Amino acid sequence: MRNDVRELRVDKGLSQSDLGAVLNVSRQTVNAIETGRYSPSLPLAIAIARFFGHAVEEVFHVD
C-alpha cells in the first residue's frame, strides 16, 4: 500500500500537524501513513481522499 499523501499535503503547503488537525487525527498518525508504517482506517482514508479532492483509489495504491 503506497500513497500520495505527502505529495498532496506539501502541494497544499501544510505540515503533518496541520493535516492532522483538519482530519482530527494526531500528527503521528499522518506521519505513519505517509511513511507507510500502516494504512489508515477506511473512514480516515475516505476523509483524506475527500480533503484532497481525489478518489480513494487515486490516493492509495495497492502495490
Binding site for a copy of itself (CB under 8 A): 1, 39-43, 45-46, 49, 55-57, 60, 62
When CB distances are held under 5 to 8 angstroms depending on the partner's kind, the choice from a copy of itself, DNA, none that residue 49 binds is a copy of itself
> Grid coordinates 482530519 are at which residue?
23
The distance of closest approach from Cβ of residue 22 to DNA in the complex, given in angstroms and rounded to an integer, is: 12
Other beta carbons less than 10 A from residue 59's beta carbon: 22
> Which residues would be at the binding site for DNA (CB under 7 A)?
10, 15-17, 20, 24-29, 31-35, 37-44
Angle at the Cα of 47 from the Cα atoms of 20 and 30, rounded to 5 degrees = 30
